[in-house]
């Protein structure tokens, strides 16, 4: 009996070993798909941003980038009232209980051969159907992979082959005065290319998104351009066109784009984890003014002052107190609330980070273990 049991156990061991070898090396024999990492294949360029240009440079950039910029058409089913399906109500009052279907228009950028498309969250928000129209005439329904309302970005995916893909540029290398092109589908007239320069960098406190670090440009951006591409004279993606400043509804020479560096991080996080995870320390910050510095007896005018600390939050546990001025987060200098918010959000929850703090009695370096930032309730309700 023992001998039979030994033969049986050895046979099972050999079969299991063979199964694992086949599953690893030849998964198709078992009709199983090989396990792959959740990595987004993208084309990136490390070349410096070209500050020159001219007519020839513009046409070359447009020719390179335009095929990867798509038009996005969205539709939302009409809302029906409680008596919409009541035949007597329809007989006496007509179709008053049913509103008209809503249609939307925007743009997007193909950033991966796998079919991933970057666009704005407000372009596809609450849409029931999303259709993507390529520059070569192909159409496809799109699937929403994930959204990040706090940066107003969304990731779509289409199931098409041989897709044109834009090259991601280094948006951190942009300088004021660099020439750029805006590509999109304004007013639904068809793909349009406009030119301009980078007017400003790092625009914040505009009240558009929670996390703001906009590229400002005077390239004409109009309704329908949202989600389209802002490219340099090499045709490399520098930003996702998002908003305009306008009193008339049309372009007035002030447009804003989300930098590629931000968009790339959101893309990778959503594809990898299904959502963007951000750090949180539980403080109430305020820009440091000379008056506040004097009232707290501080000798510095640089940094962000903490006016409130959440009890039992990560900052409180680390020893942060009201009146502290944070000047650096994990080696990143902060001089206003927007920079502090972005720097803290970039921290990995559960991993300790160092904060440089100025107090009345001197400077200190405090180690804080951030928690996970939760999505605001309003955004949860919108989802």
Per-residue burial over 121-136, b = 16 or more CB atoms within 10 Å of its CB, e = otherwise: bbbbbebeebbbbbbe
* Cβ atoms of 182 and 190 closer than 8 Å: no
* Integer Cα distance of 300 and 297 in angstroms: 9
Residue 99 bears catalytic tag: no
Burial of 29 (0-12, 13-18, 19+ CB in 10 A): exposed
* Residue for token pair 């704005």: 120
Confirm whether 122 is a catalytic residue. Answer: yes
| Beta-carbon contacts of residue 259 (< 8 Å; ≥ 6 apart) | 171, 172, 174, 213, 214, 215, 238, 239
Point out the catalytic residue in the list 112, 171, 226, 251: 226
The yes-or-no answer on residue 152 being catalytic is: yes
Stated length of the chain: 383
Q: Which one of 148, 152, 232, 324 is the catalytic residue? A: 152
In terms of Cα–Cα distance, which of 362, 351, 304, 353 is closest to 331? 353
**Matching residue, tokens 């501080």:** 298
SS3 for 146-215 is EEECCCCEEEEECCCCCCCCCEECCHHHCCCCCEEEEEECHHHCCCEEEEEEEEEEEECCCCCCCCCCEE
Given 71, 107, 112, 122, which residue is catalytic? 122
Catalytic residue annotation = 122, 152, 226
């Amino acid at each position: 009996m023992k001998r039979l049991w030994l033969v049986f156990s050895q046979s099972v061991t050999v079969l299991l070993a063979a199964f694992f070898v086949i599953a690893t090396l030849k998964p198709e024999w078992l009709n199983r798909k090989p396990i792959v990492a959740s990595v987004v294949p993208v084309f990136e360029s490390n070349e410096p941003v070209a500050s020159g240009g001219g007519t020839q440079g513009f046409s070359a950039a447009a020719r390179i980038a335009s095929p990867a910029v798509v038009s996005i058409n969205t539709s939302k089913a009409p809302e029906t009232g409680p008596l919409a399906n009541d035949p007597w109500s329809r007989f006496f009052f007509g179709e008053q209980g049913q509103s008209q279907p809503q249609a939307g228009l925007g743009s997007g950028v193909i950033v991966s051969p796998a079919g991933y498309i970057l666009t704005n969250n407000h372009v596809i928000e609450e849409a029931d159907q999303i259709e993507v129209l390529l520059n070569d005439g192909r159409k496809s329904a799109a699937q929403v992979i994930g959204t990040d309302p706090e940066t107003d970005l969304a990731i779509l995916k289409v199931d098409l082959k041989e897709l044109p893909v834009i090259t991601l540029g280094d948006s951190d290398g942009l300088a004021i005065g660099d020439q750029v092109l805006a590509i999109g589908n304004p007013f639904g007239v068809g793909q349009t290319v406009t030119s301009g320069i980078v007017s400003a960098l790092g625009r914040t406190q505009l009240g558009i998104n929670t996390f703001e670090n906009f590229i400002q440009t005077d390239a004409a951006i109009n309704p329908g351009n949202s989600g389209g591409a802002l490219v340099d004279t090499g045709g490399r993606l520098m930003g996702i066109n998002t908003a305009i400043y306008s009193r008339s509804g049309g372009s007035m020479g002030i447009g804003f784009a989300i930098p590629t560096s931000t968009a790339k991080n959101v893309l990778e996080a959503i594809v990898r984890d299904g959502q963007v995870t951000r750090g949180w320390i539980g403080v109430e910050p305020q820009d440091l003014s000379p008056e506040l510095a004097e009232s707290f007896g501080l000798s510095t005018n640089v940094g962000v002052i903490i006016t409130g600390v959440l009890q039992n939050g990560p900052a409180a546990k680390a020893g942060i107190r009201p009146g502290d001025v944070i000047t650096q987060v994990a080696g990143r200098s902060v001089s206003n609330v927007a920079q502090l918010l972005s720097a803290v959000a970039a921290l990995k929850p559960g991993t300790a980070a160092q904060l440089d703090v100025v107090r009345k009695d001197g400077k200190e370096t405090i180690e804080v273990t951030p928690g996970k930032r939760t999505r605001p309730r309003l955004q949860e309700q919108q989802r």
